[in-house]
Structures are given as structure tokens and as C-alpha cells.
Structure 1
Amino acid sequence: SPQRNSLTLKAPIGLVKMSEYSAKDYGRCIAAKVPEIEHNMCSKEFLALRACMQTAILYWKIAASTQSGPPNSDPINEGPILSVRFSLDQKAIGIQRSSHEVEFRNRETGEGCSKKCRADSETILGFFWTDCPTCDVIIIKTSGLDMLVYEPQSNALRLVESKKCNATWYLYTHESRYGRIYCLQLDRVGMALNLYRFYRDAVVQQGTLPVYSSRIAVSAVDNIIMVHQIDAKVVILYDVFMDSYAPISAPLPLLVRGLASNSKQAAQPADQQSSAYGGTLYGEGWNFLIPDLICDAENGLLWKLHLDLEAIAASTSDAPSILEFLQRRKSDLSMVKTLSLAIVRTTILERRPITLVAKAMDIILDSYSRSMKTVGGAAGVRRTSENLLEP
């Protein structure tokens, strides 16, 4: 059934102790070389093992393919850790140590500095790195915001500006810096999800989405709102750029992909990979992280959500609507092109009404025209010919 492939959980990241990997790797290396002895034998594996015995941050890069090796690590000072964020250039780490202190460390030199707040009058809610031209990091406190410049050369933080306001919570995602920003509020009594759009000087309610379960979670991928109906174990998809807030397709289930740890298993059909997953979809240990991650604590996995455009396109017979949907997607342009041409071809071959064929062609030509205007010039003509249907 094409409907079961609507969404994919990809790139599991094992949340395991690094020492398990390091000890096994070091042991295998020694066993492979004994009885020969040489200088610096298995030094890489030994250093990895030694690092895991120290206080360190273990991390994995979220990618489309499964990583079977040990995690990367950065040594840090002992102490409590409330949250960790890497700088945008990956050269520094911010570590919130308590509700009154955030530590910043240069990854190259290991040197650090701290930013503290007044323990008697304010609390640090969190922090994040930014590409704002005037500052590098913003600390959110109950009394407002501190905008700071991080200077790794002098190992110091410089306060640029403070904004005073009363705050009790915050949420930040790097992806929400541009474009439309929405806040979703769940009305459990009315069984509705209210959408509010943030403008520079106002907050306006944009619409309401129905919910069919008292337990829901929300994710966002490529400007698609995913409303997870946890009890029913399905997802309903909404396109925020559509004029109406009707679902894109029928409710669709999640499908596990990318779980395999070797190339042979990776070639297995998606349904077999789902069977290989030992946990329960939408299990009690699932924690949805904005915008598109799921922390599966019980199984020690971190999942990243992806749209399966092919399955979504196959789940509806409304050719113009799915074509418009595809032209707004940016996550997989080659798939967008392939599916769009296939839909138009099928519409013509099936001798659908001429008005429907004309509307489908108009959507394609409009997308092509906008691409031409975007790139412009002779080089742009060449580029758009290669990337026909790019939004």
C-alpha cells in the first residue's frame, strides 16, 4: 500500500556509552596485530578509549545514513550539564551548568569562560547561538535577554545589549529565523489545534486544525505541519502555504528506515526494516523535539523525520493539488521533478478532462517561470533547464 510510506524515520543515532565502542575497537585492533609489536600500535583506538574514561560530551552528526562507528567526543570539565549547544561554525560549545551559569569552551584550545546571572533575582532559562550580525549568542533569562559576542581569541564574552522583559519559558529553532513563524495552541476541550502567526508587530490567528486524539504531537518538515495522532499511530499532514487548511492526504502511518547497520541490511525493503525495529512506534519513551527529531529513549535512538514525497503523491488522485504541493517542496528537488512529470504524463495518457490537463500544465509552467525569474540571465537559463520545477 503506498499510504504506509508517507513519512520515514531515518538516521537512528545510537545513544550508547562510548566506552563500549572504544573498548571493543581497541581489543579488536590488538588481537589483529598480536604477536607483532610496533610503535604507537592502535594509538587511535587507545586515545578513543582513554577519552571515554574522562568527562566528555558524546555526539553524532545527524545524517541520512546510519553510523556504525563510535561517537565523537569533546572533553569538558566535571559538573552538572543542563543543555549543550554547538556554535554555528562548530568551533565552540556552550554548556548550561545551572540555572545561573552558562560555560563556553573553545574546542580547539580547550579554554573556557562563563556567563553568570544574579542568583538572587533572575534565572537562566536557556541560550542559543545565532548568525545575527551584532551578536553570536543570546542568553534567555527570566528578566530578559542578554545578547553577547563570543571572542575566542581573548577567551571572553562581550555584552552587546540587554533587553528587559519578563519571561517564564522560551522555544528556539534555528530553522525559524526566516519566513513564516507560527505558534500552535492545543484546545483539548474543543479538540482543535489553533494556529497563530507571528508578525513583527502583531500575532494573528490564521486558522484551526481538527485533532482526533487527546494525545498529539507536532513536527515540522519542509513547511509541512505534521500532527501525530499518537493513539491512532498515524500522521495528518498540512501545508502552511495552502490557501485552505485541508489535509494534504488521508492519515498516513510512519515507516522506519535507515535502521540497518550494514549495507546488506540497508538494501532490505522498508517494511522489513520496520520489522527489525525492536521498539514500538509512538511508544511511551518517544519525546518529540522541535522541529523534526524524535528521541527514542527506551531504545537509545534519535530519529529524524523525512517526507516520502513519492508515497504522498500516490495517496491522492487530485493531480492539480499534489502538483502544487510538490512545487512548494525544497527537500528533494530531483524527486519533485520526477514525480511532477510523471503525474502530468499520466494525466494526459489517461485522457483526463482537458480542463484538468490544462490546470496541471499551468502549474508546471508557472513553477518553471518563477525559477527563470529567480536565477535570471544566461547562466540562469542553463540552471533552470537542469532544475525544472524547482520552487
Structure 2
Amino acid sequence: MAASDYYLELTANPLRFEAGNQLTNVFFDDSNKQVFSVRSGGVMGVVVKGLNELDKPLNFRMEDRGPVLSIKFSLDLKILAVHRTNSSVEFMNFNGVSLEEEYSQSCKKNHKILGFVWTLENEVAFITDHGVELYKVISDKKSLKQLKTLSHSLQWFVWCPVNKIALLASAHGSQLQPIYFKTGTVGKLSRVESMPCKMALERDITLGTLYGTPAFLILRHQSGPQTAEVHIHELSGPGQAPVKTHILKLGMSGRFAINIVDNLILVHHQASRSSQIFDIALPGESDGIVKYHTAVGPAKSFKPASLTVPGLDDNQMQPCELYSPNWVVFQPNIVIDAKLGCLWHINLCLPNLCSVISDLVTCTRLLLRRSEGKIVLLNVLLMRIRQKEPPLEKIREAFNYINREYRTWLEIVLQNQTASPAHDPIRSKPIANGNIIIVDQIEIFNEIFLKLDEESEINKLEWVLIAYLTSLFEYDIKALQNMNELLVTTLVRRQKFTSLQQLLQYGVIADSKTLACILLSLGNIYEAGTQLALDMLSRLNAEEEIQEILLSQGQILTAMKLSPDKKNLRKFLQAAQDSNDEQIFHTVLYYFKNHPTHNAAFKRDSRLDGFIHYYNSLFQDK
């Protein structure tokens, strides 16, 4: 299959670590994004690798005090915590090279530690089968101080290090209790809405963030012929109850895994070895409370991946098993195969995804919310415009979505620029507005309009320019000058003078002195161009430019009427002399000579003497 047949791919160079075996256990710390390879309980050494390849791996040894259940560094990497028994966690200060003498903390009597999480650099929470115990680690004194406890019976939990939220499961997963951590405290939120007789497994719960909002994604397996669904519960604000807002219709059953990449939900299906992509920001059917979504495209597999394996002579490439039973996923885009000793990142192939989305508007809305979507969106628009039968209405609607976000961004930026009109373009380069990328006029001009051939594609250039400028006009965004100039020259080349006049009259093409000059230059092929230019300059209150035009046309007296001060006498006298009309010259000179304000100028400025001599030569015998 071609490379374009895949939406998703694994990084070509995965993070390699010692694979898990009888002597080596592998752990992943979701908070610090570190892989721990623990040999023989730590006696043979512990190797810690982070996601940054430039960071040197950490190597140290520990005493073997039993099998390691979990191992994590504090958020500042200064304290190592090791969970070996059901009743206590060991702590060791780390100086960057070796571990210091350990100290430990036991949980409450008759409680069983299910796991622990670092909530702050010096705060750690024990999650037990009876609730939560929050401690402050005092590394200097090698001791812990209890800060807060929370009682709740549970069997397992899921942790979100980004939002500092955990989901506690009780009654075999039928009751889900979210809790949140803040400095020195832990609190409960309202329970997640449950379904009667429906139990959730730990592997079916994903905690993450969607468009800036913390969310719980719960895989619900349906009974009978119905297929599985993902129910999304969002926390709309601090301390508020989780509300079910979206349901993803998977259309298949079995075992799934979920990643959240760039606010897209990736649902991987092991049996079919395929993945689906969902975007909750796109429209979906709604019952007034919950929106129902289907995948943005058909389910497809990852792009085939290979691993470099040392050989006798040269390195060899060995294919990787995709959707392996050994795969474990972590947020946002991490896949780990402990038996292979590989950690990959998932990359989105946005151009390939857009190639299967037939609706341009849907494609535009999806790409506007992707961090790397700008250049893809511009390419998609250009490709659709160049089609034999371009979807004109869809292109107009796509421009409207682009400019709606552009306008919102302009309003945010202009809030502190009270001296500037709200419709003035911003010179600084816009990048993104929250979760929305901003596509500005310069990018549209350079990446679309300038790439359309002015000969073979001039008809497309015309209507695309009109569609885009009309969209700018509707959202009260002032078009850049080069946009207007390109449209005017395009309409003139196609002799669409009526359309040009209408666009000027309705204000779709904004007034400017430069544009007026272009209209003036069309006088030979478009007689109304001069009058359109004069009307435009009049709206701009450009009296001096209007005078120059009138003088060049020989309308000297009309030009004089537009100049209340008439300071530049020579300009009017020279124009009258060049007109070769004795009556006009007589009228102009007679006016200035007999005007009390201008009469003195003939005595001060010797350059005016030539006009007196010329007048005398014309009228001395008359």
C-alpha cells in the first residue's frame, strides 16, 4: 500500500531501552515521561531514559529489598520513590549520580497501597484500597509529614499528571469517583455518571485534555449486536461535576486503546489492526445534551514500521508488529512495547487524512484546530480550487470559517490598541488563537492567489478573489492593498468592468490612493475609470490628488475651486499656459493679480514674472 493510505505513523527512530525479561522489569513514569529498566530488583543496576535523546541516561544501583512494583522520580528528579510492598514506599535522595540512604513511609494499618503519584515536587499521594493519603516529603530530614487523608473504598485508579486528577474505581468499576489535588490538599468531585449494570475496566479509562478541558474517556462495551462506544465526560470548570457531553460511535467491538493527539481522539482496535480518528469540535447529531460523533474517515492501520537490528555485516531492518498485544499506550502520543524495548511517538499524517474527507468545510474546520494544520489547509484549498469543477460554495464557506477566526483574533489583539480602528489589519504575524490556528491575508495571497496562473487559471483567480474579499468584507476586515490591486487588474484583463464598478460601489474593494492611480491608468481602455478614481479620491478627501488629475485633464478652473488656499500659484498658471487657451490663462492670471492675498506673491516670487511677460505678449495689442 502507498504511504498516502495511512493517517498515522510511528516515529522512525524510537527510544530504545533494555527489553523486559526474566531479569529486567520495565516501568514507565507518566509524569516525567521516563522509562526505567530495573535489573534484578536494582542490584544489577537501574537505567532511566527520558524522551529527549540529548539527555544522558541515568544509571545507579539499589539494594534488592524485594520485587519492584513501581518506581518514579519526584518532579524535580531529586527524590526516587520505590514501591515494593503493599504497605510502604521507600524514598532515596538522588544527587544526579548515586542514591543516598533510604527512608520509608508506611500507609495506615490494614490499608493496601495500590499505587502512588507525585502531585508536586515535594508532595506524594498514596492511593490505597481505603482512599488517599497525601504526604509532604522533607528530603533534608529524610522524613514525610502527612498533609491530608481522604476516605474512599476502591479497587483501582487512573491518574492524569497534567490536570492533577485521579479517577478512583469501586464496585468493580461501576462507580467512578474523580478527585483533584492542589498544594497540600486533595478533594472530591461529583461522581462520573454511571450506566446500570455496566462495569468499567482500568484499561478502558483514559484521562486527558480536550481543547483545554479535562476529560474522562470511558470505553463502554455494548451487549448483543451493538458496537462499542466511547463516552466523554468533561469538567467544564474547577470543582464542577463531570458532565457527559460526547459519545463516539466506534462501529466495532473488541479491545481498544486510546490516544489524544493534538485534540484528536485516536481509537486503536487490536482485532482489526486499525485506528479511527475523532474530533469532538466537528458537528454531530445531538439529543440536546450529548453530541454523537462518527470517525472523520474510514478506519486505517498505522504506516508499516521497521526496527534497525544489528547484523553480522551490516544493520538490518526488521518489520515491527503493529497493534501488538504487548503495546501499552500513554498520553498524549506514546506507544511502548516493553518486550521489544521500544518507545514510539505517534505522528499524524494530516494531508493523508484530508485526502479522504470529501467535504471541504469539514476539512477546513478540522485543520483550523490542528497545530500543524496551516500549510496543509492552504494546500488543500489550492488543490480544490484547481479542480476541473471547483466547489465554489464550499470554498466560500471555508473562507468564512477562516476569516471568522481571523476576526476573533483581531478583536483580541485590538483590545489594547484603542487608537486603531477595529477593521485595520495587524502587521504582526498571527500564529494561533487558543486551539485555533490563524490564517492571515498574506498567507492566503502568497500560497493561493500567487500560485494560480494568471493566464490559464485567470477565471478561477477572479472568482476566488471575489469570494475571499467578500468574506473579509462580511467580517469587517480591511483587505490588504495587494489583494485589491490583484482583483482590479484581473477584472480589467477579463474586461469585467461592470463587476469592477459594482465591487467598488458596494465597498468590497476598499478605497486607496494607489488603487485610484490604477483606475486612472485604465482611462484608455475603460472610460469610466477616471471618474471612479475621482470618486474614490473624493471619499478619501484627497483634494491635492484630485487637483492634479483635473489639471492634467485641462479642467483648471474646477481644480482651482477645490483649492481653498491656492498657495501654489505657479502650478495653476503653468497649467493654464500649457492649455494654449488665452481665455483660460487670462482668467487665472486676472484672478490671482486682483486677489489681495495672492497679489503680493508676484512681488516676492520672481519666477512668476515669466507668466506676466507671457500675458503681455498675448494681450498687448488687444
Length-normalised TM-score, structure 2: 0.48
**In 1, Cα distance between equivalents of 2:77 and 2:407:** 38
The residue type paired with residue 7 of structure 1 is L
Q: CA deviation at 1:152?
A: 2.9
What SS class does the counterpart of residue 303 from structure 1 fall into? strand
Tell me which moved more, 380-389 or 280-289.
Answer: 380-389
Tell me which moved more, 5-14 or 287-296.
Answer: 287-296
| 1:55-77 CA-partner distances (Å, limit 9, x unpaired) | 432122225x7x8x984323333
**Structure 1 residues 367 and 114: alpha-carbon distance in aligned structure 2, compared to 1, 3 A threshold:** farther
Q: CA deviation at 1:158?
A: 2.4
| 1:350-382 CA-partner distances (Å, limit 9, x unpaired) | 36233211111122223334444566658x956
What is residue 108 of structure 2 aligned with on the other side? Answer: 118
What SS class does the counterpart of residue 255 from structure 1 fall into? coil
**In 2, Cα distance between equivalents of 1:17 and 1:217:** 22
Q: CA deviation at 1:256?
A: 4.9
What is residue 117 of structure 2 aligned with on the other side? Answer: 128
| 1:267-302 CA-partner distances (Å, limit 9, x unpaired) | xxxxxxxx9343321223323345533222332222
**Structure 1 residues 60 and 261: alpha-carbon distance in aligned structure 2, compared to 1, 3 A threshold:** farther
Q: CA deviation at 1:124?
A: 0.9
**Structure 1 residues 225 and 91: alpha-carbon distance in aligned structure 2, compared to 1, 3 A threshold:** same
What is residue 17 of structure 2 aligned with on the other side? Answer: 15
What is residue 354 of structure 1 aligned with on the other side? Answer: 392
Tell me which moved more, 4-13 or 318-327.
Answer: 4-13
User: Are residue 276 (structure 1) and residue 317 (structure 2) matched?
Assistant: yes
Q: Equivalent residues in 2 for 1:182-221 (5 A)?
A: 182-189=216-223, 190-199=226-235, 200-204=240-244, 206-221=246-261
Q: Equivalent residues in 2 for 1:351-390 (5 A)?
A: 352-372=390-410, 384-385=429-430, 390=437
What is residue 326 of structure 1 aligned with on the other side? Answer: 367
What is residue 252 of structure 1 aligned with on the other side? Answer: 300
What is residue 150 of structure 1 aligned with on the other side? Answer: 137
What is residue 286 of structure 1 aligned with on the other side? Answer: 327
**In 1, Cα distance between equivalents of 2:46 and 2:355:** 43
Q: CA deviation at 1:123?
A: 0.8
The residue type paired with residue 400 of structure 2 is D
**In 1, Cα distance between equivalents of 2:352 and 2:250:** 23
Rg (Cα) greater in structure: 2
Contact 1:375–1:384 (8 Å) recurs in 2 = no
| 1:206-262 CA-partner distances (Å, limit 9, x unpaired) | 324234242332222222221212222110111133332121112121125685599
Contact 1:320–1:360 (8 Å) recurs in 2 = yes
Contact 2:309–2:318 (8 Å) recurs in 1 = no
Contact 1:84–1:95 (8 Å) recurs in 2 = yes
**In 1, Cα distance between equivalents of 2:79 and 2:368:** 38
What SS class does the counterpart of residue 351 from structure 2 fall into? helix
The size of the alignment, in residue pairs, is: 335
**Structure 1 residues 140 and 372: alpha-carbon distance in aligned structure 2, compared to 1, 3 A threshold:** farther
Tell me which moved more, 236-245 or 204-213.
Answer: 204-213
What SS class does the counterpart of residue 180 from structure 1 fall into? strand
**In 2, Cα distance between equivalents of 1:125 and 1:53:** 21
Tell me which moved more, 380-389 or 367-376.
Answer: 380-389
What is residue 75 of structure 1 aligned with on the other side? Answer: 61
Equivalent pairs: percent with the same residue? 21
Contact 1:194–1:205 (8 Å) recurs in 2 = no
Q: CA deviation at 1:98?
A: 1.7
**In 2, Cα distance between equivalents of 1:369 and 1:152:** 52
What SS class does the counterpart of residue 312 from structure 1 fall into? helix
**Structure 1 residues 231 and 100: alpha-carbon distance in aligned structure 2, compared to 1, 3 A threshold:** same
What is residue 305 of structure 1 aligned with on the other side? Answer: 346
What SS class does the counterpart of residue 341 from structure 1 fall into? helix
What SS class does the counterpart of residue 319 from structure 2 fall into? coil
What SS class does the counterpart of residue 254 from structure 1 fall into? coil
* Structure 2 unpaired stretches of 5+: 21-40, 165-208, 285-292, 311-315, 418-424, 439-622
The residue type paired with residue 143 of structure 2 is A
Contact 2:248–2:294 (8 Å) recurs in 1 = no
**In 2, Cα distance between equivalents of 1:159 and 1:211:** 48
Q: CA deviation at 1:96?
A: 1.4
Which has the bigger relative contact order, CA under 8 A and spacing at least 6? 1
Contact 2:259–2:332 (8 Å) recurs in 1 = yes
The residue type paired with residue 227 of structure 2 is M
What SS class does the counterpart of residue 130 from structure 1 fall into? strand
Contact 1:9–1:258 (8 Å) recurs in 2 = no
* Structure 1 unpaired stretches of 5+: 19-51, 263-274
Q: CA deviation at 1:387?
A: 5.6
| 1:83-109 CA-partner distances (Å, limit 9, x unpaired) | 122322233322212221122332217
**In 2, Cα distance between equivalents of 1:258 and 1:279:** 5
Q: CA deviation at 1:122?
A: 0.9
What is residue 5 of structure 1 aligned with on the other side? Answer: 6
**Structure 1 residues 172 and 286: alpha-carbon distance in aligned structure 2, compared to 1, 3 A threshold:** same
User: Are residue 56 (structure 1) and residue 97 (structure 2) matched?
Assistant: no
The residue type paired with residue 347 of structure 2 is H
Contact 2:307–2:320 (8 Å) recurs in 1 = no
**Structure 1 residues 53 and 249: alpha-carbon distance in aligned structure 2, compared to 1, 3 A threshold:** closer
The residue type paired with residue 229 of structure 2 is L
Contact 2:60–2:99 (8 Å) recurs in 1 = no
Contact 2:248–2:278 (8 Å) recurs in 1 = no
The residue type paired with residue 115 of structure 2 is G
